[in-house]
Amino acid sequence: MASHLIDSCIFCKIIKGEIPCFKVVETDLSYAFLDISPLAEGHTLIIPKYHSERLDEVPDQYLVDILPLAKKIALSTGHANYNLLQNNGKKAFQHVPHFHLHLIPKPNLEDGMIFREEDVARKVERPKDELAKTLEKMKEALSKL
């Protein structure tokens, strides 16, 4: 397993036990620990035991392990409301370059992720022809994968 981890990554160091954490659960392929700056009680980071920066770089066997683990962690928080967040790249606000999911409980309106009215109002409906072009472009790319 260690052959897929790198020495310069803080999350890889956590997996290897070189940096302490509040480990929630571990499988052969995944590792979950509490965020040290949580947005809510139970805010957990879930990572593959494989170093890759973005979702599209993670081998499928690790992804198959991570989502059921996220489901169990969500249930363990005791909150029916939660966000599952994943950022890819600096422009998308990814701060640690190791693929990870944030499971963030939403126990009330003040804790957890907060979306402001202006963020929601910023959404603009796109013309149908623009959506059709986007769809065709994506379908063509998908057919080559």
* Residues 77-130: tens digit of each pLDDT: 999 999 999 999 999 999 999 999 999 999 998 899 887 777 666 677 889 999
pLDDT value at residue 124:
78
Reported as a single tens digit per residue, the pLDDT across 56-87 is 999 999 999 999 999 999 999 999 999 999 99
100 is catalytic: yes
Eight-state DSSP code of residue 39: S
CA distance 67 to 42: 17
Reported as a single tens digit per residue, the pLDDT across 6-47 is 999 999 999 999 999 999 999 999 999 999 999 999 999 999
Backbone CA torsion sign across 84, 89, 94, 96: positive
Catalytic residue of the set 43, 98, 100, 102: 100
- Class of domain 2-113 (CATH, top level): alpha beta
CA distance 16 to 125: 46
SS (H, E, C) 51-111: CCCCHHHCCHHHHHHHHHHHHHHHHHHCCCCEEEECCCCHHHCCCCCCCCEEEEECCCCCC
CA distance 20 to 36: 11
Domain limits, the chain? 2-113
pLDDT value at residue 13:
98
More confident residue, 3 or 92: 92
Cβ contact 65:27 at 8 Å: yes
